[in-house]
C-alpha cells in the first residue's frame, strides 16, 4: 500500500522549504556586539569579576562588549519602563547581537538581582523582539562545590526569550579561590573552560547574526499574518 504523503492542512502560499541559497551570502564586517550581564551587587562580586574577565577574552576574540551594571535597576512593577536603568538595559539588549549571562547560585537558583534584569526585557518591544534569534552563553559562580542549577535555569530562560543558547557553559566552584586580589581570574581549567565558552559564542554569533531573521521566520506566524491581512483587506464597510 502506497504511503500517503499529502499535507492538506498546509497553506501552500505560506510554505517555505529551507535551502542553503536562502541564507545571506554576505556577512557583516563590524565587530560582534556582545552584552554581558551579572547577578550580584556585592562590592567584590564574583559574577561581575567573571563577566569582566569574559569581556577581556571577548575583546581579544574580536568582539565589542558592554557590561550592564544592575545597581539601581528597580524591581519589576515598582516603576514603569521609562525608568533610566530600564531604558539603559533595553537599549543594550537591542544593541547586542549576542549575550553572556552570569549569576551566582543562591539557594540552588539564580539570584533575584539577575532574574529582575530578565523580567525587565519584554519578548516584544514596539514591534521588535529584542532577544529573538540572538546568541547566548551561560556562566555561573558557586560559593561551594560545583553546581549547574543556575546555568540550567538560565538555559530555560534563554529558550523562553527565543535566544540561540550555545551548548557549552561554565560553572566556577569556590569562586573566592579563583580570583586574585586585583580581581583577575587565576589560570586554571575553569578559566580555560570560560575561554571555550566564549570562543564558541563568537563562532555562533558570526554565523547567525546576519541570518537571524531567516532562522526565526515561522510558518505559523506567516499563516497568522496572512489571515490578519485578509481580514483587514476584506472587511465590509460599516
Q: What is the reported pTM?
A: 0.89
Residue 23 and residue 20: Cα distance in Å, rounded?
6
Whether 237 has a pLDDT exceeding 60, the answer reads no
User: Which segment of 19-23, 58-62, 153-157 scores lowest on mean pLDDT?
Assistant: 19-23
Question: Tens of pLDDT along 177-225?
Answer: 999 999 999 999 999 999 999 999 999 999 999 988 888 888 988 888 8
- pLDDT confidence bin for 234, thresholds 50/70/90: low
**pLDDT of amino acid 38:** 98
Give how far the C-alpha of residue 142 lies from the chain's centroid of Cα atoms, to the nearest Å.
21
Mean pLDDT throughout 106-122?
95
Whether 112 has a pLDDT exceeding 70, the answer reads yes
Whether 238 has a pLDDT exceeding 60, the answer reads no
Average pLDDT value over all residues in the chain? 92
Question: Tens of pLDDT along 8-23?
Answer: 899 888 998 988 888 8
**pLDDT of amino acid 96:** 97
Amino acid at each position: 500500500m502506497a504511503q500517503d504523503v499529502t499535507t492538506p492542512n498546509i497553506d501552500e502560499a505560506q510554505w517555505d522549504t529551507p535551502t542553503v541559497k536562502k541564507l545571506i551570502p554576505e556577512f557583516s564586517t563590524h565587530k560582534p556586539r556582545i552584552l554581558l550581564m551579572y547577578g550580584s551587587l556585592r562590592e567584590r562580586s564574583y559574577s561581575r569579576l567573571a563577566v569582566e574577565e569574559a569581556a577581556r577574552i571577548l575583546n581579544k576574540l574580536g568582539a565589542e562588549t558592554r557590561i550592564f551594571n544592575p545597581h539601581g535597576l528597580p524591581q519589576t512593577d515598582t516603576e514603569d519602563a521609562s525608568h533610566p536603568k530600564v531604558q539603559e538595559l533595553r537599549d543594550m539588549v537591542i544593541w547586542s547581537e549576542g549575550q553572556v549571562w552570569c549569576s551566582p547560585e543562591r539557594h540552588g537558583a539564580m539570584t533575584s538581582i539577575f532574574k529582575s534584569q530578565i523580567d525587565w526585557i519584554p519578548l516584544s518591544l514596539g514591534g521588535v523582539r529584542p532577544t529573538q534569534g540572538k546568541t547566548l552563553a551561560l556562566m555561573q559562580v558557586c560559593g561551594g562545590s560545583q553546581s549547574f542549577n543556575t546555568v540550567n535555569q538560565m538555559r530555560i530562560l534563554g529558550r523562553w526569550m527565543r535566544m540561540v543558547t550555545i551548548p557549552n557553559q561554565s560553572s566556577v566552584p569556590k569562586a573566592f579561590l579563583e580570583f586574585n586580589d586585583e580581581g583577575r581570574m587565576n589560570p586554571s581549567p575553569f578559566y580555560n573552560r570560560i575561554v571555550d565558552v566564549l570562543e564558541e559564542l563568537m563562532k555562533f554569533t558570526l554565523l547567525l547574526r546576519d541570518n537571524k531573521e531567516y532562522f526565526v521566520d515561522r510558518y505559523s506566524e506567516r499563516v497568522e499574518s496572512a489571515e490578519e491581512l485578509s481580514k483587514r483587506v476584506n472587511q465590509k464597510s460599516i
